[in-house]
Structure formats: C-alpha cells, structure tokens
Amino acid sequence: MKAVILAPLRRMVIFAAALALPLSAPAEPALADGEPVMAVPELHALTPEAAEDAARITAELRQRFQALPSLRVVEAPPLPTGVPGHPNILLPPFEQWRDAHVDIVLVGTTSILKDGRHQLLLRIWNVETRTQLVGEQYVFGVHQGHEQEIAEHVRDALLAALQKGTMQAPR
C-alpha cells in the first residue's frame, strides 16, 4: 500500500520542482541572440486634447520599430517619466526597465501649444548606461498624417545612434 501512495506523491514532488526551476534561474536578457529589446510605452498626453496624438504616434512608432528584424519591440504600460513639475525632462525609471530586461526605452509627451499647434517631445534611452540615444521635438499642425513622417525620422535617428554606440544596431 505504501508504494501505491508514494508513487503519485513522488511524481507531484518532481512536477513541483520542475515548476520552481524557472523561478530560481538567474535573470537573463529577453533575447538570447544579443538583439536589443526596446520598450515603447504609450506616449504621455499632457492634456486630454493631446491623447489622440499620443495614441496615433505611439502606434506608428511601434510599427516602424517592429519592422526592424533585429530589434524586439515590447509594448508596455506608461511608467512615470520625468521630474515632477518639469514635463520637458523625460527620464524613465531605469531600474524598473532594467529589471524587465529592456535595453532601450522610449519616453515622450504630446501636448497642444497655446497657438493650437501640436507638440511631441521624445527621448530614447539606453537603459543600462542611462544615456540618451535620441532626443527629438516636433511641432506640427492640426491635420493628421504627420505621424508616419515623424516615426520614420525617429527610426532613422535611432538606427544612426545605435550604429555609433556599442549596442548592436538592428538590420
């Protein structure tokens, strides 16, 4: 009778140990091939009127970055950025991104200027070195369609920055 009870118990212990292995393994980069992992959280709209810009531009940026075969783009919820009271200083919470195994993070804001034009401020950061790879500001009119051009410019600026630095550039 003991052998009958111990066999299922032994299988349960082995199964539980197998489940615990991934939890106790050391943290590794999200991709094994050395490809950079880039987080592209939703841009932060400084006013409710700028929320549509934030959504459209974020979607376009993600699409452009995802088209790069050697860059893994992950969507993420917006995390607090910047310095309280200074919306133009865009600093990501580096420790949170590093713990999430992200190499590159984009942070940005959209707003509506007093004259009615729309503004986008964005920064792309190397999480490990805490250095800015790209910093851009765009001011554009009220009609849509600027997001494609902006996304292409930002993608090209990121590629140029990666080719200059030590991080592997996407092909």
- pLDDT per residue as tens digits for the range 85-111: 665 567 788 888 899 899 999 999 999
The pTM of the full predicted model, rounded to 2 decimals, is 0.73
Give the angle subtended at the CA of 155 by the CAs of 150 and 159, to the nearest 5°: 150
- Could you state, in order of their start, the residue ranges of all structural domains in the chain? 30-164
Across 147-161, average pLDDT: 93
Q: For residue 73, what are its two tokens?
A: 């783009």
CATH superfamily of this structure's domain 30-164: TolB, N-terminal domain (3.40.50.10070)
DSSP letter, residue 138: E
Q: How confident is the model at residue 133 (pLDDT cuts 50, 70, 90)?
A: very high
pLDDT for residue 56 is more than 50: yes
